[in-house]
Amino acid sequence: MRTQVAIIGSGPSGLLLGQLLTEAGIDNIILDRVRKDHILGRVRAGVLEEGTVRLLEKAQSATRLHAEGLPHDGFSLAFDGRDHRIDLAGLTGGKRVMVYGQTEVTRDLMARRESGNCLTIYEAANVRPRDFEAAPYVTYEKDGVTHRIDCDFVVGCDGFHGASRKSVPTKAIRCFEKIYPFGWLGLLADVAPVHHELIYANHRRGFALCSMRSMTRSRYYVQCSLDDKVENWSDDRFWEELRRRLPAHHAEVLLTAPSFEKSIAPLRSFVAEPMRFGHLFLVGDAAHIVPPTGAKGLNLAASDVHYLFLGLAEHYQDRSSAALDAYSPNALARVWKAVRFSWWMTTMLHRFPDTSDFEQKIHEAELDYLTHSRAASTALAENYVGLPF
């Protein structure tokens, strides 16, 4: 088999890149190690930046997003029993975010890809990028047979635990990492959200986040310890803990319903440099991870795709390599700013096990300054809606 671009991973990165390439007439094949329904069973991000929405429009995959997504002009920070609205639109000249689940983004991209009869190979085992410094190809196993796909480029969209980054010689890559001493316990329930906008709560018992997937489906998170287990959390215990971390006027009106998804996600910051190795490119979680506090993970994957698509389109259409050569530095410049923002939001809003009294007072002063200074809240807002590509 031969293709122009072999994409490893059928998550949002791989699917979005595959769709943009297809729309530009550039042949591509996507390989994933699991089944399609496994990918659609994952519950992940919920907030899209405008840049991500524009890319989904360019990929002809935004019809349902505009019909069902919820445009949000602001969110609230809750602490000391009160909440403070961050007016995203007012502080950024009208920019907003779109609340629309990553699962639905993935579903829309898959549907678009299937309507164009583009090849996605699911349940491809032991996928490996090969000879990517010279004459790239990918091998994989399926139904007991080893297959080979020759290509011009390999794109690793296979997430943090994928094979692409691990196929790079250790001397050629530098990784930066910070592990946070807590996780997020997330819950999905078919019940109206407690508020029409998101609430990020800082409480001495820990962080909580009130989000949603629609006005009839809520997505909630509470900070939990790293050794906590989902089986330790009945729905009743979760709802009680969430109420305790919210200001009373929200806790009193919180509606509950049986959860149909509950999971714990660890939090880390991670960046691999560079993001290009000859004919191999790393995109999205394969190259970087951020704590979900700033709602950046999925959106960073989208901006990587933006930069890489520009490079691949220029290579095939204009026979120029300038934008491909600029991919890694351009993507990393935006990645590191989002990594900083996500670290800052996480540090400000969570309770760390070893927080000293002094550090706690600093966090409280930061929240007080943030909610009383237009300059400080503008800086928060412009990062939250997404810095320009």
Contact positions vs ligand PHB (CB under 6 A): 45-47, 198, 209, 211, 219, 292-293, 295
- The catalytically annotated residue of 12, 72, 220, 221 is 72
Let me know if 196 is exposed, middle or buried by CB neighbors in 10 A (0-12, 13-18, 19+).
Answer: exposed
Residue 95 is a catalytic residue: no
Residue 221 is a catalytic residue: no
- Say whether residue 92 binds ligand FAS (CB under 6 A): no
Supply the minimum distance, in Å, between the C-beta of residue 82 and ligand FAS.
Answer: 25
CA distance 164 to 8: 8
Kindly tell me which of 139 and 347 has the beta carbon lying closer to ligand FAS: 139
- Say whether residue 305 binds ligand FAS (CB under 6 A): no
Q: How far is CA 61 from CA 5, 9, 16, 243, in A?
A: 20, 18, 9, 37
Total residues found in the chain within this entry:
389
Contact of 367 with 77, CB cutoff 8 Å: yes
Q: Which stretch binds ligand FAS (CB under 6 A): 41-49, 74-82, 91-99, 314-322?
A: 41-49
- Say whether residue 250 binds ligand FAS (CB under 6 A): no
> β-strand 137-142 against 145-150: which pairing, if any?
antiparallel
Residue 293 site contact among ligand PHB, ligand FAS, none (CB < 5 to 8 Å, cut-off depends on kind): ligand PHB
Kindly tell me which of 74 and 186 has the beta carbon lying closer to ligand FAS: 186
Supply the minimum distance, in Å, between the C-beta of residue 329 and ligand FAS.
Answer: 19
- Say whether residue 262 binds ligand FAS (CB under 6 A): no
- Say whether residue 11 binds ligand FAS (CB under 6 A): yes
Supply the minimum distance, in Å, between the C-beta of residue 212 and ligand PHB.
Answer: 7
Supply the minimum distance, in Å, between the C-beta of residue 50 and ligand PHB.
Answer: 15
Supply the minimum distance, in Å, between the C-beta of residue 152 and ligand FAS.
Answer: 19
Residue 279 is a catalytic residue: no
The only residue of 5, 6, 29, 45 in contact with ligand FAS, by rule CB under 6 A: 45
Residue 200 is a catalytic residue: yes
Residue 327 is a catalytic residue: no
- The catalytically annotated residue of 100, 180, 200, 327 is 200
Closest CA to 75 of 53, 93, 97: 97
- The catalytically annotated residue of 296, 306, 315, 350 is 296
Catalytic residues: 72, 200, 292, 296, 384
